[in-house]
Amino acid sequence: MALDVNDVVPEVARPFLARAGGMLIGSRWVRDTSAGELAVEHPGDGSVLTSVALAGPAEVDQAVEVAQQAFRRWSGVSPTQRAAVLFRLADLMERHALELATLESLDVGKPILTTRMIDVPFTIDTLRYNAGWATKLTGEAYELAGHGGLVSAQTVRQPLGIVAAIVPWNFPLLQAVMKVSAALAAGCVVILKPSELTPLTALRLGELGIEAGLPPGVFQVLPGRGDVAGEALVTHPGVHKVSFTGSGTVGRHVAHRCVETFKRVTLELGGKSPNIVFADADLPRAIAGSAQAIFFNAGQVCYAGSRLYVEDAVYDEVVEGIVAIAGRMTPGMPLEEGTDIGPLVSARQRERVLAYVQTAADEGARVLCGGHALDRPGYHVAPTIIADVREDMTVMREEVFGPVLCVSRFARQNDVIASANASRYGLAAGVWTRDGRKAQTVARALRAGTVWINQYHTIDPHMPFGGWGESGWGREFGRAGVEAYTETKSIAMRL
């Protein structure tokens, strides 16, 4: 039975939910669409928060047409002015931080403490960081060695054009802003397609973008199904670049589609990240950090430390410590202050996660704790720890995207490096040891885009982030993340 939305929605989020529903094309909020509407559900109790219009190919065509004009205008706006608008947007987000955090918690199901303390402030930091790059992108100057010393050359970085940003549901606002702010700073224009499960903060961001002074069509928001709106965007000949974050299966499909029209493409995909605890580590920190590495956001994190390798001598102590933490975690409703671990985003995701645990048990692994749904409203899965795993087991090879940790023991450094690298993914890794030389040696030997030493989860807009292997192509954050929205042009002048 659908619950009354007013029972769960705090006052701060009600005005937006009451008016939300249209997609942003140009400066218009469009409700009449070719692709119908979708109810937006609160994972905490299944109540319907609102419904939003879904984009189909016709709306994608309209948005691309508007974007073409907008690009001509925006790419001519001075970098200082572009930065100024983005800084204004950051200020507006700060002013509406509680509203954004509340909408994100309602939409994704993540604890309000997390969205207030992490998602929203970090997103605003990211926006300001990328805004700063608008005025700092440069080319290089060369004195060419040949040509009788008569040719002077330079490179300039120019915006790619129209960007389709396609994002998943686990960090909807952050993923959107990472892409949108980098692309706009570089002088591109963006059509954002949020996940069909979590469109709310993307739509609110669209409103704030207009208020901040983004010209019409520079930033458009088209909620829609992946196989309809997403497909229309990635196949549209007018789109120059696709920046995609999501699963490997869809990422592979998107890459194939992009090749057909030679679109530029960045892919941020899944992971099965190893986290290695050596016997000489600061164990209390390693235990707490390793629990956090998998249970943060109920494990719905691309770089979650889902494969834990513990050195023999401390295996029992570490595993017992993490099992104890799992037992103390407080599941709860997303908007309750005391909630440590919220529900998963959907019933489908819960069933998917539980099926992985069952497969692990069928293949001979031992479930130490959890492994079941919680008997309470929402799509909760108990924090789960699985031991006696082998590298060839399904749960060790595939991304579960839930609060499920696989633990195994190791005896030798080279063996654990080989095990850690025996994955087709390569997004992130953790190393816990007091021995600095060992930490650096292992970090360099791991096939991963990011390695954390004596910590996990440190993501910062200064640090390029992205994957090796099947975890993706390209980097977001840092200078590289903004340059990814530019092309290099060489200009040579005869003196």
Per rule CB under 6 A, is residue 370 in the interface with ligand NAD? no
Q: Give DSSP secondary structure letters for 60-129.
A: HHHHHHHHHHHHHHHTTS-HHHHHHHHHHHHHHHHHTHHHHHHHHHHHH---HHHIIIIIHHHHHHHHHH
Q: What are phi and psi of 468, to 5 degrees?
A: -95, 165
Q: Is 140 among the residues known to form the active site?
A: no
Of residues 221 and 387, the one with the C-beta less far from ligand NAD: 221
Place of tokens 């492994």: 371
Q: Give the one residue of 116, 157, 240, 253 binding ligand NAD; rule: CB under 6 A.
A: 253
Q: In this structure, are residues 84 and 74 in contact, taking their beta carbons and an 8 Å threshold? A: no
Per rule CB under 6 A, is residue 226 in the interface with ligand NAD? yes
Contacts of 396 (CB under 8 A, 6+ apart): 272, 307, 389, 390, 406
Of residues 250 and 442, the one with the C-beta less far from ligand NAD: 250
Binding to ligand NAD (CB under 6 A) within 418-447 occurs at 427
Per rule CB under 6 A, is residue 172 in the interface with ligand NAD? no
Per rule CB under 6 A, is residue 297 in the interface with ligand NAD? no
Per rule CB under 6 A, is residue 245 in the interface with ligand NAD? yes
Per rule CB under 6 A, is residue 295 in the interface with ligand NAD? no
Per rule CB under 6 A, is residue 403 in the interface with ligand NAD? no
Q: In this structure, are residues 109 and 339 in contact, taking their beta carbons and an 8 Å threshold? A: no
Per rule CB under 6 A, is residue 169 in the interface with ligand NAD? yes
Instruction: Give the helix/strand (H/E) hosting 58.
Output: helix 57-74
- Count the residues of the shown chain that bind ligand NAD, applying the rule CB under 6 A: 29
* d(C-alpha 410, C-alpha 433), whole Å: 14
- Active-site entry in 99, 268, 311, 476: 268
SS3 1: coil
Per rule CB under 6 A, is residue 202 in the interface with ligand NAD? no
- Minimum Å distance from CB 254 to ligand NAD? 5
Per rule CB under 6 A, is residue 247 in the interface with ligand NAD? yes
- Minimum Å distance from CB 243 to ligand NAD? 11
Per rule CB under 6 A, is residue 310 in the interface with ligand NAD? no
Structure tokens at 437: 């030389």
Stretch that binds ligand NAD, among 152-160, 190-198, 352-360, 363-371 (CB under 6 A): 190-198
Which residue's Cβ has the minimum distance to ligand NAD? 226
- Minimum Å distance from CB 164 to ligand NAD? 8
Instruction: Give the helix/strand (H/E) hosting 410.
Output: strand 404-410
Structure tokens at 107: 């939409």
- Minimum Å distance from CB 409 to ligand NAD? 26
* Triad 134, 98, 184: Cα angle to 5°: 15
- B/e letters for 208-242, b = 16+ CB within 10 Å, e = fewer, are bbbebebbbbbbbbbbbbbebbbbbbbbbebbbbb
Of residues 83 and 406, the one with the C-beta less far from ligand NAD: 406
- Active-site annotation, residues: 268
Residues that bind ligand NAD (CB under 6 A): 166-170, 193, 195-196, 226-227, 230-231, 234, 245-247, 250, 253-254, 268-271, 302, 399, 401, 427, 467, 472
